[in-house]
Chains A and B, each alone.
Chain A
Amino acid sequence: MSDEREALRARVRAHVEHESGGPVEVRKLEPLAGGACQESWLAELHVGGAERRLVLRGDARTSLPGSLDRTGEQRVVQAAVAAGVRTPAARWLGRDLLRAGSNAYFMDWVSGEAIGRRVVKGPHLEAARVGLGDELARELAKIHSITPANNPSLFDRTDGKSRTIDPAPGQAAHLDPVGILLVQTVTMLDALGEPRPAIELALRWLQDRRPASSEVTLVHGDFRVGNFLVTPSGLAGILDWEFSRWGTPAEDLAWISVRDWRFGRNDFPVGGISKREPFYAAYEAASGRPVDRDQVLYWEVFGNLRWALGSLHQGLRYHAGDRDLELIAVARRAAEMEYEALRLIDKGRL
């Protein structure tokens, strides 16, 4: 074992002993995802007299605009757990744990399948898919029960400030979540340095139909197949809160239906696992909040537009020196999202 790995084990042990106030043994500490991504580690610890299986999750080296660091993310996860959301609990935030300047926390290990294609098509999950839409709708209702009124300081602390092009996402979004996203979208579009008339047309459509006022709640921000852990008995957990912020419930309701997250199952527009109406009905029943179909259409167009720009920015990362073939390949796929945004506009309904 390398000295570096040994030093990490020692840091983890000292940190968890400090946090838990008792002796700790590090049984196992190894990188997840084949070692290529060093930001997530499997950690098996003996702590508080019990064996615990955990994921040590650290800050990403590069991140997309609008994402939270681990400090901000742990706070959101803890609020979600308190609201009863099925998500792995997070604790013991540490600075400089994985590397200098990086935050990391420990998350409960939860088993399940997260790979989108398998969640949507895997034969072993066929029974689980039957109830998955309802389960997700109920979890979403719990997420949206967290509001600026009952959680005023969720995003406004300086220690977990999100790294974003918007200087104060929590507070400002609180006042105008749509306006903030429109500004962010224009900034991302202008950064491309090439004309994208399809994106311009969709943006104009969104600006002309901007909702007059919307309820503001916590939104997960990346609520889609790929971020759900699923087992044969159903939903095991919701992952990846780094894009959570104050927003409009319809954003999450629409993002899960963005075509790319259906993994080819367009016959089930909600994430490739559910028809639309049963999903909206389950959400309405659980949240007591009516689902405005026109607003969902608005946010589905917006979602495709944002993902088109997201994929083009992945291509920019390649040109900036992050030589990952997947990044430049995904930039070519922006045409799929552009097409989908214009198709929805053309159709005018869901």
Chain B
Amino acid sequence: MQDKPDKQMLLQAISEFLLTEVKPAISESRLSFRVLIAANLAQVVAKELVEEDAQEAHELQRLRTLVTDIPVAEHLDRPALQQLVVQLNTELAERLRDGRIAGAQLDETRRHLLTTLREKLSVNNPFFDTRPDVD
């Protein structure tokens, strides 16, 4: 394990450097916009590092209630967990494509996907308004 500064601190430092030192020195608007994007992406990754374990666990828990017929081993390590999330999402996608998910199960699937997207958006774009009646 690395000593401090840790990865979140470094990403925050990159973001701050780009915003406070690099961006003001650039007059060309397209390049300036790209620097803003780069600073923003560094912040997104910093936030993702904090949230990803919990978000993946939540998503997996919900996926397992939707896709119940796939055997899952106990005590998986992190790469195996991520692989499982992809596997269950692939399964869910195929079943939605085939029309095998309908009725109450479809409603439950939609609620799960909205929750998962809300969690993703809290990382990707914390300013995105997820209220159901936003307009």
Q: Which residues of A contact B (CB under 8 A)?
A: 33-34, 36, 194-198, 200-201, 203-204, 259, 266-267, 269, 325-326, 329, 332-333, 335-336, 338-339, 342-343, 345-347
Contacts and interface: CB of A to CB of B under 8 A. Distances in A.
Interface in B98-117: 99, 106, 109-110, 113-114, 116-117
Contacts of B109: 197, 201
A335 B129 CA distance: 13
B80 interface: no
Interface string B88-100: 0110111011010
Interface of B: 28-30, 33-34, 37-38, 40-41, 44, 86, 89-90, 92-94, 96-97, 99, 106, 109-110, 113-114, 116-118, 120-121, 124-125, 128-130, 132-135
Contacts of A339: 114, 117-118, 121, 128, 130
24 contacts: A34-B28, A34-B30, A194-B86, A195-B86, A195-B93, A198-B116, A200-B96, A201-B106, A201-B110, A259-B135, A266-B129, A326-B33, A326-B37, A329-B37, A332-B124, A333-B124, A335-B117, A339-B114, A339-B117, A342-B113, A342-B114, A343-B130, A346-B132, A347-B132
Given A195-B86, A197-B109, A343-B132, A204 B97 contact: yes
B82 to A, nearest CB: 13
Nearest to A208: B99
B58 to A, nearest CB: 15
A200 B97 contact: yes
Contacts of B97: 200, 203-204
Contacts of A326: 33-34, 37
A279 to B, nearest CB: 13
A36 B86 CA distance: 39
Contacts of B121: 335-336, 339
Contacts of B41: 325, 329, 332
B91 to A, nearest CB: 8
B99 A197 contact: no
Nearest to A204: B96
Contacts of B34: 325-326
Given A34-B30, A333-B125, A346-B110, A198 B117 contact: yes
Most buried by B among A195, A204, A259, A347: A195
A204 B135 CA distance: 24
